[in-house]
Amino acid sequence: MNNSLDPRINRLNIDEYPADLTRKVPLDQFGTYEVFTQSKAEQPYQHEGIVHAPNAEMAFIFAKEQFSRRMTCSGLFVVETKNIFVTATTENNINIYHQVSDHSPASGEPEQYEFFHLMKRGKQHQHVGSIEARNAQEALALAKPAFAEEDPVLNVWVIKTQDILFTSEEDAIIWNTLPDKKFRSASAYKASDKIKAFKESQKSVL
């Protein structure tokens, strides 16, 4: 420890070699939640992005503000990233279901799983249906007959339904405050018409 003529400095216990290694303090960061939105009631839910949040309820609020303020939305849900099961991603337009085993573990109680497909690189995963199974791997095997002959499915996400925080029918009112915001578009102000009217008024004054 450094010694100083000032007793206040000595009481600070300043290390003489402050560059010595210490363990890095773990980061206190929020977890990530995947966000899915539905543009219209008859449209499938589609993955939009992620938010960081301390829990699912706050993730839902953050997702609503981030992903539905500037677009119409009829539904939204969030799920913690760690609760999503994913397959590998295929190359050369090979359907991933052709690489799925017909056999799966038989453990667990029957539960419902939601399926999301990636049909083209650069696009987003879309919801395609639900399967009841005893575990995620069995759900994937059971889904194989239904989807193996579809256009190439490049990647699959499988999510246990109970892990998802959905909007309910009672929540639908939150979208009533989100009409098309035409005021965000310059065309809504009809600036050219106003300029033309102003010029015409100036002619009459002159």
**Does residue 160 surpass a pLDDT of 90?**
yes
Per-residue pLDDT at 201: 80
Of 171 and 83, more confident: 83
Per-residue pLDDT at 200: 80
- pLDDT single digits (tens) 18-71: 566 666 666 667 889 999 999 888 899 999 999 999 999 999 999 998 998 777
Cα gap 90→116, rounded to integer Å: 15
**Does residue 155 surpass a pLDDT of 90?**
yes
Per-residue pLDDT at 169: 73
In DSSP notation, 119-159 reads -STTS--EEEEEEEESSHHHHHHHHHHHHTTSSP--EEEEE
**Does residue 3 surpass a pLDDT of 80?**
no
Helices (H) and strands (E) in the chain, counts: 4, 8
Inter-residue contact 46 to 127 (CB < 8 Å): yes
- pLDDT single digits (tens) 95-124: 999 999 888 888 889 999 999 999 999 999
Confidence of residue 131 (pLDDT cuts 50, 70, 90): very high
Per-residue pLDDT at 188: 62
φ, ψ (nearest 5 deg) of residue 82:
-65, -15
Of 5 and 137, more confident: 137
Confidence of residue 156 (pLDDT cuts 50, 70, 90): very high
Percent of the chain with pLDDT over 70: 76
> How far are the Cα atoms of 6, 95, 161 from residue 30, in angstroms, in the given order?
43, 35, 23
Domains annotated for the chain, with CATH where assigned, are 24-190 (3.10.20.520)
Residue ranges in the chain assigned as alpha helix (H): 7-10, 56-67, 136-147, 191-205
